[in-house]
């Protein structure tokens, strides 16, 4: 599997789209959780990450983005930073 490392800066949370379903937390609790407002937020491990994420944390990010029913977790490949 060839996958370039993910950095925290390449992740964007669209909290306006989040419906608080919690799927991201179920598959990637190290990366995301549902906060007091009922919306997705970075978990401590991701919030404190510096530089490329370790494999486990990177996998948590990718899997959480994949299962989110609202596409509220965007990764660099899906970002349009024109
Ligand atoms: S899975 Fe998506 S919609 Fe559900 S809480 Fe996480 S970011 Fe929000």
Distance CA 82, CA 78 (A): 12
Q: Is residue 2 part of a domain?
A: no
pTM for the model: 0.88
The parent domain of residue 23 ranges over: 8-75
With 90 as the cut, is the pLDDT of residue 77 above it? no
Gyration radius of the chain over CA positions: 12
Highest mean pLDDT range out of 5-14, 59-68, 69-78?
59-68
Q: Is the CB of 18 under 6 A from ligand 1?
A: yes
Kindly state if the Cβ of 72 falls inside 6 Å of ligand 1: yes
pLDDT at 2: 45
CATH code (residue 43): 3.30.70.20
Average pLDDT over residues 74-78: 79
Residue among 23, 41, 64 to mutate when testing ligand 1 (max atoms within 8 A of CB): 23
Dihedral sign computed on CA atoms, order 68, 69, 74, 77: positive
* Residue 24 within a domain: yes
Residue 82 lies in a domain: no
């Amino acid at each position: 599997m060839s996958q370039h490392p993910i950095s925290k800066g390449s992740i964007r949370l669209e909290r306006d789209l989040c419906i608080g379903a919690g799927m991201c937390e179920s598959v990637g609790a190290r990366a995301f959780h549902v906060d007091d407002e009922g919306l997705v937020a970075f978990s401590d491990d991701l919030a404190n990450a510096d530089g490329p994420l370790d494999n486990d944390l990177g996998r948590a990010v990718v899997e959480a983005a994949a299962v989110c029913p609202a596409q509220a977790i965007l990764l660099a490949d899906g970002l349009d930073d024109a």
